[in-house]
Structure 1
Amino acid sequence: MLIRATIDEVETDVVEIEAKLDKLVKLCSGMIEAGKAYITTNKHFVSGVRDLSQQCKKDEMISECLDKFGDSLQEMINYHMILFDQAQRSVRQQLHNFVKDLQRDRPCFVDLLHLSHLAELIFIVFDFVNRPEISIDKIEGLITHTGCGKERSRRLGTYLNYFINVLQAKKKFEILDAMLSFMHAQYTFFQQGYSLLHELDPYMKKLATELPNLVIGEWLGHRAWWVLD
């Protein structure tokens, strides 16, 4: 049988884990909503880049640059959408469902805890039944009041221990599985971003070497104009 201190500890743990999980779900919801706003703003920015590309269509160098960068930024938006979708499914939805299960089962669980405590008292009384200061009438009255005989109290304690073990195992699985899925999504997000920018890197380096020449060429053109003037 569980001692009273253990019963109180388990009951407190159930209440506190429910509150912490509920808080985490709400924080995740806020993160997702902020992410959606970020994605929307990025889409507007990419749209602006593409509009500028169309406006500069006659300048092939500018148009090519804006098209490449615009496409890459759009891909990053797609990666962000996948990441936030995974956060929605793995953290918010999965843990929210677990919180709902806890809220549904907690009243029955608490009743079972308190009933187990009564059964434990009966069990103790039976162990001291031969003491002269404890009358048979008192024992029978307590048994009638709680509905717990010695055998039933043992079964109740066994069931409660089983229930607690299942709860602890489910808590461990749900939390670890949700966070593992989310971290896998983070890994995929950064890996995709790295691969995308790695492919774009040669063009960016090429553009970076050409830009100073454009400035020098423009400066020399102005200098020649001044000389001729």
Structure 2
Amino acid sequence: MVINKIEPQECLRDSPKFRSVLEEEETSIDQLEGKLEKILKVCGSMIDAGKTYVGQQSLFANSLWDLSTHFREDPMVLSSLNKLIHSLQEMNKFHTILLDQASRTILKNITSFIKNDIKQVRDYKQHFEKISTEYDTILIRNSHTPKSKPQEVEEVQNILVAVRSCFGHQTLDYVNSISVLQMKKRYEILSTLLSYMHACTTYYHQGSDLCADLEPFFKTLADEIATMRDETYKLQKDLENTHASVSNIELVTRKNEKNSPTMEGYLFKRTSNAFKTWNRRWFYLYDNKLVYRKRSGEEQETVMEDDLRLCTVKPVSDGERRFCFEVLSPAKSHMLQADSKEMYDAWITALQKGIGAAIQRVQSCDLDNHKNNVGNLHRHSNKETRRSQNGPLSKDTSKMKKIKMWEQLLKIPGNNFCCDCGSPNPRWASINLGITLCIGT
């Protein structure tokens, strides 16, 4: 049983995963079409060569009839020769029927499959690519619409809802057509070859004993083809119901599995160059990092922030663009924009929780290290040697980590002075804000 690789929820979210699987399916269909066209070409040559053979075989039989006249006065030889010639002509008739069956099964069925089923998928692909381009355009327009023009905002929002719905339906139609084609190709090809093999069995009637051994297989295969047809019909009915999920699509994803993103979805990112352009990227939030990638065209991820402990998130309400927020780190600032209020709230909440969780994990690790160090001081005297070896190593390692982090903070411009009173050589740091300060006694 072939499993449908494209999940409806993934295609409605238009995620990079969906685009990657879709590209694989399109490549598979292209390869299938190329192989089927090669079969058509070779089969056509085979039929043409077969017709040439049948024509020559007919001339050969006529020459044998001419030879038989030489034995008019030898009835036994004449009777035997006539029977052999008649049998040869009957074989030639069977060969003609076989060539006709090859033309009506392989050529006709595969040509119909290419011109109808594969072409239908191509047509859906054109509609999908067109609506995908329109969807991207309206998303960009929606992001550019200033909140100071409420009438224009309402208009573009209505257009966005309509185009998003149309995109969802067109995407499902395209994905459904691919799924049906991938299921249908199985029994179409097998059914075509099965019909041709039945013709070959008829042609090789003298080898009926050998063909009889294949009858159980043919019967089983025919039953499987019938089952495939039923499964395809059921799949078509099930896929028709997937259109109902267009209005329920979640544009952001929250996951709690281990080693998986805690949040992912699309955001607009403002570039740091002089033009301050905005690009739409797929963002991931996991493992104390904020990374992003393009929807398609490249697999490599770009790390925006590799340590959320040094970051903070702040809503931005004084600009022209809506649903903007800023991710601040000690060295740089990132301006991001969500597509809607729901996505805006979800991302801010997720980032704040991610920053808090990262800091809490660090504090928890420090507490565990402290407890371990205290425990080492109360070990039994017969483990004195091991304690003297392990204790200083753990302490030195922890100390080196703190020194390294402190050096990184001091390298940031301005951190060699207290951010509060301006005194030099501060000895305290705010990990969350990435600043240094002195605390008076």
TM-score normalised by the shorter chain: which range applies?
0.5 to 0.7
Distance, in Å, in 2 between the alignment partners of 1:147 and 1:115 is 15
- Note closer, same or farther for the CA distance 1:71–1:169 as it changes in structure 2 (3 Å cut): same
Aligned-residue offset at 1:137: 3.4
Aligned to 1:193: 206
Runs of 5+ unmatched residues, structure 2: 1-9, 12-17, 147-152, 209-441
Considering fraction of residues, name the structure with more helix: 1
- Note closer, same or farther for the CA distance 1:73–1:146 as it changes in structure 2 (3 Å cut): farther
Aligned-residue offset at 1:106: 4.5
- Contact 2:128 2:167 survives alignment (8 Å): no
SS in 2 for 1:148: helix
Distance, in Å, in 2 between the alignment partners of 1:56 and 1:176 is 50
- Note closer, same or farther for the CA distance 1:18–1:143 as it changes in structure 2 (3 Å cut): farther
Alignment of 1:70-219 (within 5 A): 70-102=85-117, 104-114=119-129, 137=145, 144=159, 148-149=163-164, 151-190=165-204, 192-194=205-207
For the pair 1:64 / 2:58, whether they are aligned, the reply is: no
Aligned-residue offset at 1:27: 0.7
Distance, in Å, in 1 between the alignment partners of 2:110 and 2:81 is 42
Q: Which amino acid letter does the alignment assign opposite residue 58 of structure 1?
A: E
For the pair 1:50 / 2:65, whether they are aligned, the reply is: yes
Distance, in Å, in 2 between the alignment partners of 1:79 and 1:193 is 12
Runs of 5+ unmatched residues, structure 1: 126-133, 196-229
Aligned to 1:16: 31
Aligned-residue offset at 1:184: 1.1
- Contact 1:119 1:156 survives alignment (8 Å): no
Aligned-residue offset at 1:156: 3.4
Identity level (%): 31
Please give the per-residue CA displacement for 1:19-49, whole angstroms capped at 9, x wherever unaligned: 2111111111100011011111111111111
Distance, in Å, in 1 between the alignment partners of 2:76 and 2:170 is 79
Distance, in Å, in 2 between the alignment partners of 1:146 and 1:183 is 54
Q: Which amino acid letter does the alignment assign opposite residue 188 of structure 1?
A: T
Q: Which amino acid letter does the alignment assign opposite residue 124 of structure 2?
A: F
Distance, in Å, in 2 between the alignment partners of 1:157 and 1:173 is 25
- Note closer, same or farther for the CA distance 1:142–1:14 as it changes in structure 2 (3 Å cut): farther
Aligned to 2:45: 30
Q: Which amino acid letter does the alignment assign opposite residue 173 of structure 2?
A: Y
Aligned-residue offset at 1:135: 5.2
Residues 96-105 or 138-147, more deviating = 138-147
Distance, in Å, in 2 between the alignment partners of 1:146 and 1:105 is 27
- Contact 1:18 1:102 survives alignment (8 Å): no
RMSD: 3.1
- Contact 1:119 1:148 survives alignment (8 Å): yes
Equivalent pairs, count: 183
With CA pairs under 8 Å and 6+ residues apart, which has the higher RCO, 1 or 2? 1
Q: Which structure has the larger Rg over C-alpha atoms?
A: 2
Aligned-residue offset at 1:142: 9.5
Please give the per-residue CA displacement for 1:58-91, whole angstroms capped at 9, x wherever unaligned: 0122212211110110111011111111100000
